[in-house]
Structure 1
């Protein structure tokens, strides 16, 4: 059977399913620097808070959420309105399925409509991979056009080990002398963006 994947807007009611994806990253990896898995209530609040200003989307297959992505504020100062930090998590059973690429493509389509020009990814990094961290995330972002712009040495401590953190950057817009104003996500009508399905046979 030819299965399809759908990208749609996340809702606070998705918190339980999304947490099932996120929890292993907290409990078993240094990909997330959180020590404890957030509660369902806290996660619902995170989704609600994000959607006021930025997109929060999920990838579904046969009604099951298999990955999600969102962006958050890069810096609170007004001058940073055109820059955001991206985040993405995919169910471990769907790694290298193309799910992550489709989520980021959908995010970029929305962010361009918001007049965002700069994307930044904050990624845990290690010079010696272990059972808690590989550098797959860095390579994934490189594949999608992100470039390394900064490294912070031994700034994250988890599982009795110090990890580095890197910043990667991707430009998706121009930088004119008078840029168009940032549009909060809550003020947009982006329903058409989520009307996208891709046959599994076309996944990367």
Structure 2
């Protein structure tokens, strides 16, 4: 049986990413998008992210089975030490620890980049009860990873004719020093992770 491997996303991965992500867009409230982005759009997102941050894919053999990336929590300078995480795993590949491997790598990369805070913005059932479009898997995953609830926005998302809340979870991965080191561009350190 093939092992899950990680590598940097390539433009030609956009079709596989679209297939994975499209399921979540069309069938779940996990993402706030309602139309699956085109391959051209996803290619542009990969390229834009990789100007400064990691965009990773997980593979089994030659098949892309998951992807993850970080982006600025806010583009303004004073936010530079805080990133937002995104991760999606092929629904047919659960139980293979794909998400765990992606998150482990993202967190280690962020530490080397001098990131201090990682955040996750997660759609959450307004009545705290899962439904056919949304489980509690994401908040439970993040909680197990050491994230804590930082805030909740009520009835902030409307999808599938229903209002959902949005929760923000956060994890500090470094000390909050009085003079934090400026963020390192991922491209300056990527050879430490990928040849």
Q: In structure 1, what is the equivalent of residue 132 of structure 2?
A: 131
- Number of the residue aligned with 1:190: 190
**Residue 109 of structure 1 contacts residue 193 of structure 1 at CA under 8 Å; is this kept in 2?**
no
CA distance in 2, matches of 1:173, 1:100: 22
Ranges in structure 1 where 5+ consecutive residues have no aligned partner: 196-204
TM-score after normalising by structure 2: 0.95
C-alpha distance in 2 between matches for 1:37 and 1:61: 24
2:62 is matched with which residue?
63
Q: Which protein has greater RCO, CA pairs closer than 8 Å, 6+ apart? A: 1
Q: For residue 116 of structure 1, what is the aligned residue in structure 2?
A: 115
**Is contact 1:59–1:66 with CA below 8 Å preserved after alignment?**
yes
Superposed CA deviations along residues 112-150 of structure 1, whole A, max 9, x for unmatched, are 111001000000001121111111100011111111110
Q: TM-score, normalised by structure 1?
A: 0.91
The whole-number CA distance in structure 2 between the counterparts of 1:88 and 1:171 is 18
Distance in 2 (alpha carbons) for counterparts of 1:132 and 1:39:
22
Superposition CA RMSD, Å: 1.1
Between the aligned partners of 1:7 and 1:166, the Cα distance in structure 2 is 28
Task: Return the alpha-carbon distance in structure 2 between the equivalents of residues 12 and 68 of structure 1.
Answer: 13
Secondary structure of the equivalent of 2:158?
A: strand
Q: Where does residue 11 of structure 2 map in the other structure?
A: 12
- Alpha-carbon separation, structure 2, partners of 1:136 and 1:35: 20
* Corresponding position: 1:173 with 2:160: no
Q: Secondary structure at the match of 1:115?
A: coil
Distance 1:123 1:95 in 2: 19
Q: Confirm whether residue 143 of structure 1 aligns to residue 144 of structure 2.
A: yes
